[in-house]
Structure formats: structure tokens, C-alpha cells
Structure 1
Amino acid sequence: MTVTREPRLGEPPPGGTADRPEHPGRGEAVDFDGLYHAHFRSLTLQLAAYCGDLSQAQDLVQEAFCRAFARWSRVSRYDDPVAWVRRVAWNLATSRWRRLRTAQSWLHRQREEHVPGPGPDRVALTAALAQLPAVQRRAVVLHYLADLTVVQIAEQEGVPEGTVKSWLHRGRAALAAQLATTNEVNHHD
């Protein structure tokens, strides 16, 4: 009787799957460890830009990968497993934001207020992004941080390409105005 052990994280599984492509052809399985190591950091940076909190983004991406791992026999055969993980992470971020908004509303009714800590250098862009409507913020982050094309964003969001272009145009214009205002205020102080 031969006993085989499970591969350790980062170690290729038995059978030589270490040289599998990241995005194989339809129906061909992808190595979870390789996908995790190749995409965890970039997905975390995307979510951090979206939600403004690196540790929260790490938790969200970790949870998305855990959910992918639990369904790996199915997810590994998708045309783009990273897109599935990204979508789950974004959905988790949206759900967490809704729960936070509900909690803050409750605190406000209790006459307690949550005051975020200062950090002027890091806060400028996060504050400007926070001013954008969620769809524009998501489009800007996916396009400029995740390097997704307009076509890919349109496919992920289920909208026409023109809608994504509009979101990006409006998001860039609003960010430029917001950051210019912030820069003028900082120079006058």
C-alpha cells in the first residue's frame, strides 16, 4: 500500500502540475496554490484601494480564496478562476460595507460616533475615492489597479462597454476635482 501525502503550500502537487498555465484552456484544472501565490497580493491591493483598509482587504481576499478552495473542483475549471475569486471578494466587500453602514447608523442613533484616525498622506486618495459613487469607484480601481480592460470590467459588471467608459470618465473627472481641491487646501495651510 502506497501512502501519498498532500502537497505543502507552494509545493507542486504530485503529477507535475507545477508548469500548468495560470489560465488554461476550457476544462483544464488550475493549481490552487499557484493561483493563490500569483494573485493574492494584487487582489488585496485592489480591494484595499476600494475599501480603504489593507487589513480588511486581506481578510476579504483570504475569505474569497477559502470559498474558492471549498469549491475548487468546479472553480478550477472556469475559464478565469481569478475573476471568480475577485467577484467573490468584491461581493464580500459590499456586504461588509452594508453591515458597517448599519452598525454606524445604530451607533449614531445611540449618540456615539465612530471617528477614523488621521493620516493625511494616505487619506487624500482614499477620501477622494470614497466620494465617488460605488460603480465609478469600482470601475476606477478595476481599471487602474487591477489592469482590467473596459471589456473585462463590462463583462464582470454585466453592463455595456459604453457604461464602463462613462463610469471611468466621470470617476476620473471627480477624482481630479477632489484632489485639486485637497491640494489647494493643503497649500493654503
Structure 2
Amino acid sequence: MVVPTTSPRPTASPHADADGFEAFYRAHVDRIYRALAVTLRRDELAHEAVDEAMARAYAKWQVVGTLDNPAGWVFRVGLNWATSWWRKLRRETPPVDGGHPVPDGMPTGALLALAALPIPQRAVITCRILLDLSTAETAEALGLTEGTVKSRLSRGLAALRTQLSIEE
């Protein structure tokens, strides 16, 4: 039997990964929750979405932690999870009037105008404004091209301006 003369290469400590995730979680969970709450228009759904997305980020932290924008990844995963939840809800209980289920406690003012936008435009606006992501980071997080991000942002902001000027 041959005994190796060198010690095995040191590996990264699992505690170092956990500490890195914990710092990321504390720094970003509130911002991501707020962005999802505005995008989804439901606080409880946003809580569940951010919890699910953070759990998935923790499970894949060795990969997610090396991304240029892990917060954008978590936002996208939360948004995808919530979209799947809405689809499941619609399949199980189709609305009587043919529209989308209306969330309780609809917001007023600017949030109501934002809530009236289609989800793709709301997602881009929340990434760019609430999460303060660049156009490139938003495109990467949402799986879009930069041109699509710019277009959705422009159209969404124009719709908000129109809606808010009508209210005033």
C-alpha cells in the first residue's frame, strides 16, 4: 500500500459559504421582497416568493455566489416561482368573470398605477428603480435583451406618466 506524502488540497470551508450567504441574505432580502411585492401586488405572495428564491440560492450558493448579480438571480427565481403559483391557481380555480384574481387591499396612487401595468413592464421597472439594477443587469436577471428592457421601461414609464397625470 502506498501512502501519499502530501496532504490533500484544502477545500473551502462549508462555513465560509454559509457566512457569505448569510451576509448576502441580510444585505438583500428586504430590497428583493419590496421589489417582488410591487411587481406581484401581493405581500404574502412576495414573502413566499422571496423565501423560496432565497432557499434555492442557499442550496446553490457555490454557483449563485459567484454570479455578477446574485440579487438579480434571486429576484428572477422569486418572480418565476410566483408566476408558476399564479398559473396553478388559475388552473385550479378559474375566475368567474374571465379576468385575473384580484388581490385584497389594492394600493392607491402611484402604486395603483404601477399595479395596472402588465407584469413584464412592472418587473423591468422594479428591477431598474427599486433594485437599482443597470439595464444590462436587469436584462440578465430577467433573461431579456437590453433592447427589450429599454423598450419595456420606456413604455411602462410612459403609461405611468399618463395615468398619474390623468389622476391629478
- TM-score norm. by structure 2 comes to 0.75
Report the equivalent of 2:22. 33
The answer as to whether partners of 1:104 and 1:114 remain within 8 angstroms in 2 is no
Question: Residue 62 of structure 1 aligns to a residue in which SS?
Answer: helix
Is 1:47 matched up with 2:36? yes
1:166 alignment partner, one of 148, 151, 165: 151
The answer as to whether partners of 2:40 and 2:119 remain within 8 angstroms in 1 is no
1:57 alignment partner, one of 46, 56, 59: 46
Q: Pairwise CA RMSD of aligned residues?
A: 3.1
Q: Aligned-pair distance for 1:30?
A: 7.0
Question: Residue 96 of structure 2 aligns to a residue in which SS?
Answer: helix
* Count of aligned pairs between the two proteins: 155
Q: Aligned-pair distance for 1:125?
A: 3.4
Report the equivalent of 1:132. 117
Show CA shifts across 1:46-75 (max 9, x none).
Answer: 000101122221211111111122223333
Give the whole-Å Cα distance in 2 for the aligned partners of 1:118 and 1:67: 29
1:145 alignment partner, one of 118, 126, 130: 130
User: Percent identity between the aligned chains?
Assistant: 40
Distance 1:89 1:148, change over 3 A: same
1:108 alignment partner, one of 74, 96, 99: 96
Give the whole-Å Cα distance in 2 for the aligned partners of 1:118 and 1:32: 34
Give the whole-Å Cα distance in 1 for the aligned partners of 2:39 and 2:130: 10
Q: Which runs of 5+ in 2 are unaligned?
A: 1-12
Report the equivalent of 1:94. 83
Counterpart code for 2:86: W
2:58 alignment partner, one of 48, 69, 76: 69
Higher relative contact order (CA 8 A, sep 6+): 2
